[in-house]
A and B are shown apart, each in its own frame.
Chain A
Amino acid sequence: MSKLLQLHDFGAPGATSFDELRKSAASSGCSSKGGAGKTGCGSAAGPSDLPPEIWEKVKNHPCYSEQAHHHFARMHVAVAPACNIQCNYCNRKYDCANESRPGVVSEKLTPEQAARKVVAVASTIPQMTVLGIAGPGDALANPAKTFKTFELVTETAPDIKLCLSTNGLMLPDYVEQIAAMKVDHVTITINMIDPEVGAKIYPWIFYNHRRYTGVEASKILSERQLLGLEMLVARGILVKVNSVMIPGINDQHLIEVNKAVKSRGAFLHNIMPLISEAEHGTAFGLAGQRGPTAQELKTLQDACEGEMNMMRHCRQCRADAVGLLGEDRSAEFTTEKVMAMDVEYDLAARQAYQAKVEAERDAIAVAKQRELEKLEGETATIKIQVAIATKGGGVINEHFGHAHEFQIYEVSTAGAKFVGHRRVDLYCEGGYASETGIDPILQALNDCTAVLVAKIGMCPKDSLAGAGIEAVETYAFEYIEQSVIAYFKDYLERVGKSEIRHVARGDATIRQGAFTEA
């Protein structure tokens, strides 16, 4: 229930500006609501770099569209824990470190239980639009369970989009079935195209009834992954590629991977930082292999960006995550609770709700465009990063002390761009500042010039100021991108008047371990 209240919360402060914006948008001849797939003011609402038919497919998918992840929710069900390869960043004694949070054993479900859970969640959370099967393990190592789940869900909840994640080893054998099930997105984890690099990531694979090791194993894996990718693209199925960035092993090589997957038609590339804390017990963790820093990750993502769309909002959610990205409501939907729930699938109500959300998104895009116009004529070459405290809805609506994560935007005269998120441990728990204090947050935001929040106390504000980060409450409950641009304009003015001096910021740390709710 809390989610519904939250959505109304963000609707309320935005309501006036939202209506005004709709009006002004209409009066200037820029419709904020086009036909299917068309968004107001062209590129402002839809990513200009995606063809319309692809945008139509991904716009409500929280994992694929940065904007959608503010408004739509997804869920994963863990039905198929088996896997047929071994990755050095994964310890299946606990869970798959790639697609889900290590150290937490996900609840394994039968296809029937999983289907019931999907309907229960979709009835409770109308913005739930996507069901994914993403491990732990490989969705195609136990294909019967994966496809059975999809089949059952399609029967009761036909509006839910299906997606699956795979390591790609068995993919070519199941492309026909994936197409027949109307799965519209597939994620393949591709960490290399050079078997020599692969040998450092994959100790073995199980294929054709035997275990292959070393370069031979990676050669087979890579060939199968790329073949599977080509076959899916040929059938019009969207393919996202996930890569785990492992400094010193595949970091430079991922630029080659990016070219290879782009040329074969993948539409999105998601480069994720390696999670490798020793306590997760993965081979990399035990060997002391480090993960990338925030700026290393961003530099690599930027280097690949010219080649294709980069996804930067992945939270490496656990395999049974439920809810909006960055928010996990899986505890509300344990098998026990789901089995006891009275569920009724109300398709019309879901659609009405989603239409409302869509209208709000259009308004956000229009607001951003208007703010951007105010920057016209600015020639400053300054580029800064700004952190945002939000609980979703595209609005700055989170108290600094309650933030589990901050969203990072890079802003220049060219506009505001989402570049990532930083998870943090709660600074203030139940009104008291946490024991670890503010230092980890300062480290996580060290590359930012400012943090925009709904509210912040004096103490953390001073600490931030001491670290050269400005805490700003001025834009509380305003739309994020519009505010980031407005802040930047103000910043430029103050630099111009020599009220402040622009200084380049340093690097930041990515918090290890996956997202945990409190």
Chain B
Amino acid sequence: MDKYNDVSPFVIIKSDVTRRSFIYTDRALGALDKSKHQYQQRVLIGSNGGENAAVPVSLLLRDGTSIIGTPSKTAKNPYVVDQIDGKLYLTDQGEIVEEVHYWYKPDYYDKFTSSGTPMWQVASARPQRLDIDPNSHCHFWNKGNGCKFCNINANSTQSEKECNMSKQLTAQDVYETVKEALKQPGAFTNLKMSSGSILSGAEIFDDEVDMYIEMLQAAGDNFKDKKFPSTIVASAFSEKQLARLYENTGLMTYTSDIEIPNEALFAWICKGKHNEVGYAEWKRRIIRAVDIFGAGNVSSGIVGGCEMAQPHGFTNEDDALKAVLEEAEDFASQGVSVVHCVWVPMHGSAFHNQQNPSLEYYVRLAKGLSDLRKKYLLNVDMDNYRKCGNHPDTDLDRGNLD
């Protein structure tokens, strides 16, 4: 932290905790209050709980930022969440690092839709964002070409089997859950939808676009105005598909993840996307979305550090960072924010045995991406610290004034 004393220490802690993972002491788990805290959640990537059903879903830091992650039994050097003198702390080798809080449970969580679906299985809640993932199955895996860092289908199959959690949501359930969620004053500032890719349709992704239109319209029926603060994290749609989406829904912003901002590595790690669309076209489509949604209202996520996956990734951190930031600058210069999460080689993904880069790499990456937004005057309100919480770089933007 001394070396990067102009970077928020909370960002550094968050990056390292995500990178190294964490576990809970029994005392810390005893502090979980099921009536107040979230202990089960529908997520696309990661884990929906399963055998860890009584584990807090995530952590809040004192500055209002989040650490999004699940404890890992196989982590070699994890942080430890402990309860000391009635407060919860992240500890490292027995030393207190920082105070944390468990995520609170929204009022709608324990309610049911008219079809009997638990509302927490329809929408999950980040600190200020309503998350609805209508389809938890990615078609790229059908051909064996899913992204190597991702465990979406393994996770959704396990959740369906163990928790009877449906992979697909219905529009009526979405409508009713959003309606209930909006009854809680001050709880949400954004609605986000995401899904596994759906390749079918007259044109690739046409059926995915149709699904988003149906689901966004169902959610949108709860709002006074046609447009409402919202985003989707979706496949790279064509201009025609984007226009159809924008014109027929309340959607205000759009994200499609380039995942690995390097064509050769994208072709290896995201083989399905590369085979069906191609890196250059995937990127072109994201940039063209700026014509519809406006500069700053389009972002692209990268799995930070995955560019160092072996055997084909960069072997030198300086080279990797240079390549990533150069490509991110090309996006930023054309109105697209690049945001990063910390690559966790998770169980159920093809990369589960890999090692992610150093903490210093992540600090430099977060600062580099945040500085690019400053340079190109892009705000990232659509994906900031209080909405997503999964991007150390957008946490940093909070310390800068427009």
Q: Do A and B come from the same complex?
A: no
Taking beta carbons and an 8 Å cutoff, which residues of B are in contact with A? none
Taking beta carbons and an 8 Å cutoff, which residues of A are in contact with B? none
